[in-house]
A and B are shown apart, each in its own frame.
Chain A
Amino acid sequence: MIVIFSAMNDYSTFEVIRWLHYFGESDVVRINADEKKNILFRVHGNDFTIQVDENVIELSEIRAVWYRKGTRWLEGQFQEVCIEEHPKLTSYLNNKAEKEDKKLSDYIHYVIEQRVPVLGSAFKYNLNKMITLDIAQSVGLHTPAFYVFNEKQCIKNLLKGDEQYITKAMSDGVYLFESEDKGQGYFTYTESLSSDDMEGYPEKLSPSFIQSKIEKQYEVRVFYLDGRFFSWAIFSQSDTQTRTDYRKYNDQRPNRVVPYVLPETLQQQLRDLFSKIGLNTGSVDLMVDSQDTYFFLEINPTGQFGVLSRATNYQLEAEIARWLINHAQH
C-alpha cells in the first residue's frame, strides 16, 4: 500500500495517483487533512492499525508514503467539550485536545518515517523562512538581506535609500479557499515596498518581514526530488503584473517558461541545503540578477508544481509516482 497524506483540492495528488495506477500500483490510499472522516485507532507501542472510513491501514502494509500536504488529518477525532459555568476550563480542555491530537499524529508520523520510505516529511512541511535563509548562507548560497521591524521609523529609514525592497509574509501568507459553494479564494503575494506604502501606519505595527529586492533577469523555480533537479526559468520581469511575484499570473500573456539546467556548484549547494534541513523533496525559488548571480529565496516543501510541470513537460507527477514505486518496500 502506498499512502498519500494530502488535502482536498490538491490536483497534483490526483495526477500522481493516476500515474500510480497507470504504472500498475493500484493499492493507494489518499488521506485528506481537511476532510471529515471516521477514524479508528489501534496503536500498540510502535505498531498501529488505523481505519479511515472503510480503509484499514496496517503499518506493516505501508510500503511508501508521500507527504504531499497536511498532517492534521486527525482533526475532529478529539471531541470538543463544554463544561457550563467553567468557560476557562472549557477553553483549556479544548486547547489540550488539540495538543493531544498533535502528539498522537506526530507519533504516528514518527513511526512511519522510521519504518517506511517517505517522500517529504510530516515534520518539515512548514519551514521557517528565516532559518532556511540562514542555513542557505551556511552552504554558500547567496541570499537577499532581510529585516523584521515593528517600528514605522525603522522601516522608513530603511526605505530612504536607493535600494529597493519587498515585503511578504514570514509564514506561507494567505492561501485560503472558501467553500465550493462560494467559489472564492484569498491570496497574498510578494509585494514591493516603498515609503509611500507606510502612510497611515501607526508608529508601532505588527512585526513585518522586509527583504532586499533582487533586480532579476529572470527567476528559476526548482523541483527537487531526492537528489534530482527539475528546473525552469520564468521570464517574469518584463510584465508589470508578474515582475514582483510571478504567481500573479497574466493569463492573457503568460510568462515565457523554459526548462533550465542549474550549474553543478549550485546543485551541490542545494543538495547540501536539503540534507541539512532533512528533506528529500521541495520547490526552491531562485532569482538571477543582472550579474548572473543566483539568489536563493526559499524552499516550499509542499509547493504547487503542476502548472510548470505541464509547461516544461517534465511530467513531475509521473516522476513522483516512479519514486514511490521504486522505493516501495516489498
Chain B
Amino acid sequence: MHNTDQCLTLLDMTAHQRFSLPLGYKKIYTKAMSSKHAEQSVTVYSKKYKKADLFAVASEKPLSKILL
C-alpha cells in the first residue's frame, strides 16, 4: 500500500483486478475510520423525552444509549 497522505492509502490491486474495473474505479483508496463512527451508529429511537434531559447527558453518551 502507498501512503498518499496521512489518511488516504491507495489500495494495492493486481493489474488484472484494476483492468477489469471501469476507469472510474482505477484508484480505490482506503482510509482508517475514526472511533467517532461508533457514536454515529444511532439506532432507531424515540420518543417523548424532554430536551433538558437529552442535553444534560448528550455530551457524555450517544443518544441511542440514552434513549433505548
Contacts and interface: CB of A to CB of B under 8 A. Distances in A.
B40 A8 contact: yes
A8 B43 CA distance: 7
B46 A14 contact: no
B8 A248 contact: yes
Contacts, number: 151
Interface residues of A, number: 59
A256 B5 CA distance: 19
A208 B24 CA distance: 7
B34 to A, nearest CB: 8
Nearest to B49: A26
Contact of B26 (A8, A35, A197, A252): A197
A251 interface: yes
B48 to A, nearest CB: 5
Find the residue from A10, A188, A208 having the highest chain B CB count within 10 A.
A188
B37 interface: yes
A119 B21 CA distance: 35
B29 to A, nearest CB: 5
Interface in B6-45: 6-8, 11, 15, 19-33, 35-45
Contacts of A72: none
A189 interface: yes
B25 A185 contact: no
Interface string A180-213: 1001111111010100010011100111111000
A193 B48 CA distance: 54
Nearest to A15: B40
A14 B39 CA distance: 9
Interface string B31-68: 11101111111111111111100110010000100000
Contact of A174 (B25, B35, B47, B58): B25
B33 A183 contact: yes
Contacts of B49: 21, 26
Given A55-B46, A187-B30, 7 more contacts: A24-B51, A26-B48, A27-B47, A186-B29, A187-B8, A210-B23, A241-B4
